[in-house]
């Protein structure tokens, strides 16, 4: 009888302890579950953000010498492209001038980019570039104008680093790697092109020939969400061999020839 009473008492005591501890354990489980949900939410809401490169003039000892193999702005180089659009073919001529422009304390190479259609200028741009001591090519600004019937109708997209809050960005890294995601230009509300390296060692065929070991840059712009472009930068031409619209419009700009003046 003593053993039975002891067993009954022990069972009753165990039941009381279990009843007391269960709410605490459940509350602990709820806390853990809530924590897991918060972590999951944080994971879901997080995403890669583009890098805004930090500019310092002290990193540019010879900024006007731009010899990055994927984007070389050497005075006298000329690239001629044909861009196929829904409105017809456009001729694009990009010329590296011998001029420089001082921006944010460094000398920048001036590149002249002119677009014509049926012999009539529709866009005329001066772009400014510099290369830092690591070999990264920086985009320092642009002075662009769109034309209709020989008259300027817009200068939208023009900007200069250090003016009105605009900051330079990087257009080509010295050692591009898949996943690099960065601002190519940063003038809030006006110029916010983004670049992301999506492929290396690609081969592309255009009118000018077949080129290997190309880096593919995907370009987007939060100000123009529908814009999506892939550019193939190839060392054999030291610049872009092909630019393809991937947003559905189907525009294609391909290299016709590269010459030296």
28 token code pair:
């602990």
Rounded Cα distance, 248 and 236, in Å: 29
Q: Are 76 and 261 within 8 A, CB to CB?
A: yes
pLDDT tens digits, 196-230: 999 999 999 999 999 999 999 999 999 999 989 99
Residue carrying the six token digits 């805004």: 52
Q: Are 157 and 91 within 8 A, CB to CB?
A: no
Enter the pTM of the model.
0.80
pLDDT tens digits, 13-59: 343 334 433 443 434 444 433 333 333 333 333 358 999 999 999 99
3-state SS assignment for residue 110: strand
Tell me what the pLDDT averaged over the chain comes to. 85
Report phi then psi at 179, rounded to 5.
105, -15
In 3D space, the residue among 163, 172, 174 whose CA is nearest the CA of residue 141 turns out to be 163
């Amino acid at each position: 009888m003593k053993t039975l009473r002891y067993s009954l008492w022990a069972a009753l005591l165990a039941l009381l302890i279990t009843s007391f501890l269960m709410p605490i354990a459940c509350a602990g489980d709820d806390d853990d579950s809530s924590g897991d949900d918060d972590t999951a939410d944080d994971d879901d809401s997080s995403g890669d953000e583009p890098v805004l490169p930090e500019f310092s003039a002290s990193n540019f000892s010879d900024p006007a010498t731009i010899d990055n193999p994927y984007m070389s702005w050497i005075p006298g180089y000329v690239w001629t492209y044909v861009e196929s659009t829904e409105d017809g073919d456009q001729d694009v001529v990009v010329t590296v001038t011998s001029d420089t422009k001082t921006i944010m304390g460094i000398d920048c190479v001036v590149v002249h980019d002119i677009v014509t259609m049926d012999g009539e200028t529709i866009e005329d741009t001066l772009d400014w570039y510099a290369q830092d001591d690591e070999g990264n090519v920086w985009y320092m600004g642009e002075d662009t104008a769109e034309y209709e019937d020989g008259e300027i109708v817009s200068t939208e997209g023009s900007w200069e680093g250090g003016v009105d809050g605009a900051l330079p960005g990087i257009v080509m890294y010295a050692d591009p790697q898949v996943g690099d995601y960065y601002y190519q230009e940063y003038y809030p509300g006006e110029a916010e092109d983004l670049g992301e390296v999506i492929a290396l060692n690609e081969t592309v065929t255009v009118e000018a020939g077949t080129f290997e070991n190309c880096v593919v840059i995907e370009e987007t712009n939060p100000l123009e969400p529908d814009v999506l472009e892939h550019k193939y930068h190839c060392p054999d031409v030291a610049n872009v061999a092909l630019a393809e619209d991937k947003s559905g419009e189907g525009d294609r700009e391909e290299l016709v020839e590269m010459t030296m003046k």
